[in-house]
Structure 1
Amino acid sequence: MLTIHAADELRFGWDDSAPVKGGAVVVEGMRVAASGPLSELQERFPGARVRRWPGVLGPARIHEGPLPDAPTPRERIHAVLKLGAVAVLAEHADSPELRAAAERNDVLVLPRTRPTVITDLARADLAVFDEDGNCIATVCAGRLVHRRR
């Protein structure tokens, strides 16, 4: 199923100096099918479900520090997703249980940090943040895994 994630503003990267007002990203399966102005994407993908988010839509982040404390590895990984991150650094996912929880949730375990960007055909890892920087929604490998109510 095609889903269009739309927001007040789209940033292809967090250092992007040219955001798209009323921008959106089309997700097909676990990949980005297209991105750009919502009106154009709705014309190109007329049958797609549209999820509208207030705030800024951009690439999901990499959690660079220790994972948040929680009773179980699964809850620690979920806490990262709630922050708008879909990747953690290997040095902080240092137990077999944490790595297994990350794998079950499609959270990447990376050897080092790297820039995050939205590009066509890439894995659909997205996050939406409000004006205070709080995560509203996280999409990990095409799945909506967190949304603030």
Structure 2
Amino acid sequence: METIHAADRVFVTWDAEPIANGAVVVGRDRIGAVGTYEELRERFPQARVRTWPGSLGPARIHDGPLPDAPSPRERVHAVLKLGAVAVLEQYADTPELRAAAERNDVVVFPSTARTPALVQTGRADLAVFDEAGACIATVCAGRLVHRRR
């Protein structure tokens, strides 16, 4: 089943101009479309809808040490709570951290040479941030893995 993630503003990249009242269609682990909510609701009438306040855009690459936590799983989850779904290889420096990242579909990159973007047919990695910059929700490979209550 497809899900439409709608927000006040949707950014294809965080440097791009936002789409007001934008939305992203997610099917399984892929992005099906990006556009205005009205357009995508018409194109995907059977999709369920999740509406988020704030700004939705590509999930981030965590470019520093993973937050301290009692276990590798909790360290990876702490990154997801920050709106990131990728970490740098130099910081996933133990077999336990790499295994925890893999189990949670968190990508391990050798460098930050990438600019995350919402691309049709690309992996569905999204993050939603409130006006203060705090992460409200993280979608990793199409799964909602963090939602602030």
TM-score, normalized by length of structure 2?
0.99
5+ residue gaps in structure 2? none
Residues 3-58 of structure 1: per-residue CA shift (max 9 Å, x gap): 00000000000111x21000000000000000100000000000000000000000
Residues 73-131 of structure 1: per-residue CA shift (max 9 Å, x gap): 00000000000000000000000000000000000000001110001000000000001
Distance 1:144 1:22 in 2: 20
5+ residue gaps in structure 1? none
Distance 2:18 2:137 in 1: 19
Provide the secondary structure at the position in 2 that maps to 1:92: coil
Distance 1:21 1:135 in 2: 19
Distance 1:136 1:73 in 2: 22
Provide the secondary structure at the position in 2 that maps to 1:22: strand
Distance 1:75 1:120 in 2: 31
Distance 1:83 1:118 in 2: 18
**Matched residue count:** 148
Distance 2:135 2:61 in 1: 13
The residue correspondences of 1:1-149 to structure 2 (distance < 5 A) are 1-16=1-16, 18-113=17-112, 114-149=114-149
**Matched letter for residue 29 of structure 1:** R
**Matched letter for residue 50 of structure 1:** V
- Return the offset for 1:146: 0.2
Distance 1:82 1:19 in 2: 23
**Percent identity of the aligned residues?**
70
Where do 4+ consecutive residues of structure 1 move more than 4 Å?
A: none
Provide the secondary structure at the position in 1 that maps to 2:144: strand
**Matched letter for residue 31 of structure 1:** R
